[in-house]
Structures are given as structure tokens and as C-alpha cells.
Amino acid sequence: MEKSILSVIIIGTSLFIIFQEIAIYINEVFGLPIFRNIIYPIAGLSFCFISISLFLCSSHLFSKIGKVTSAPIEPPELLVAEGLHRFTRNPIYIGHILAIVGEFLIFGISYCFLCFKCHIFCTFLCCINRRTSSKKKFGAQYVIYMKTVPRWILKRYS
């Protein structure tokens, strides 16, 4: 496993733990409700597993095809339109959203729902920025990609 993927996993796990501690504290201070059910944690773990899988698959494609580090922070040198990117233009962002929903279901903390709303807004802004820079960098190739592959909802591949 490459150093960059390992560092992203370590940093992501650390932030996950820190975020949960802060969320629990804020939830207690403001007396927000906690949602508990036997099925929620199981569904939440499933969402988190899917989220990690999306991230690892996309990171691998970015490093293999896009010629960047495994941590897809910087834009790729080449357009990545294979693997998960055949079905959606934003598999990593979808993974982020699934992770936050998974956290909410696992811990039942209302504050996670507020974070979910904030993350959706920030992701939307980030996507606008990425779309503009990708159009400039890849030109007509990216415009065709945008027309054939949906931004969020997974497309059936035929």
C-alpha cells in the first residue's frame, strides 16, 4: 500500500474519532436527541464500508489512470472515466456523504445530521469548482463525459 493512501487512512480515521468526540460533546451540551435502534448501527457500518470502498477504488484509479498521488486532492493529469467514474462523476463525494450518514446511524447523534447538511453544501461548491477547472483542462473530452455520465446518481452501465 502506498504511503499516501496509508497517510490518508490514518488522518481520516483520526478525524473521524475527533469529530465523533466533538459531536458527542456538542450533542450533550445542547441536549439534542440521540437516535437508538438495533438496525441503525448495522446500516451505518454498511454505509461506512461502502464509503471506504468508493474512496479506495477511486484513489486507485486516480493514481493508475490520472497520474496523481493516491490521495485525490489534486486534479488528475488525464481524465479518469473508467471504473466507478463510468457510473458517476463524483464517487468520492458520494462516499463522503455515505460516511456521514453512516456515522449518524452508528452513533445516533443529531449533530451529525447538521454536519451532513453542511457537507452537502460544501460538496456542491467543490463540484462547481472542479467542473469549471476540468472543463478548462480537458476541454471537449470533459464536456462529452459530462453529457454521458451523471454527476450524482449512479448510471446503469449497458
Mention every residue, 6+ apart, whose C-beta is less than 8 A from residue 123. Answer: 90, 93, 96, 97
**Residue 34 bridge partners (DSSP):** 109
Q: How confident is the model at residue 7 (pLDDT cuts 50, 70, 90)?
A: low
Using left for φ > 0, alpha for ψ between -120 and 50, and beta otherwise, residue 101 falls in: alpha
Output the pLDDT for position 49.
Answer: 93
Does residue 156 lie within any of the structural domains? no
Per-residue CA distances from 133 to 76, 94, 121 (Å): 11, 20, 19
- What per-residue confidence (pLDDT) applies to 45? 93
Q: Which residues contact 150 (CB under 8 A, 6 or more apart)?
A: 87, 88, 89
Q: What tens digit of pLDDT does each residue of 114-150 get?
A: 777 777 887 788 778 888 888 998 999 999 999 998 8
Give residue 8's pLDDT band: very low, low, confident or very high (50, 70, 90). low
Check pLDDT > 60 for residue 3: no
* Residue 156 DSSP symbol: P
Check if the beta carbon of residue 140 is closer than 8 Å to that of residue 73: no
| Residue 157 within a domain | no
| 155 domain residue, yes or no | no
Question: Is there a domain that residue 82 lies in?
Answer: yes
Q: Is residue 136 part of a domain?
A: yes
Q: Which residues pair with 109 in a beta bridge?
A: 34
43-90 pLDDT, tens digit each: 999 999 999 898 888 888 888 887 776 555 667 888 888 888 888 888
Q: Is residue 154 one of the residues assigned to a domain?
A: no
pLDDT of residue 41: 92
Instruction: Record the cell numbers describing residue 41, joined without a space.
Output: 448501527
Specify the number of domains making up the chain.
1
Residues in the chain: 158
Domain, as residue range, for 39? 3-148
Name the more confident of 86 and 10. Answer: 86
- 8-state DSSP, 83: G
Residue 158 lies in a domain: no
The enclosing H or E element of 144 equals helix 140-148
Candidates 154, 93, 101; CA nearest to 127 is 93
Rounded mean pLDDT, 89-112:
84
Locus of grid cell 490521495: 71
Q: What is the pLDDT of residue 101?
A: 87
Rounded CA gap, 154 and 34, in Å? 31
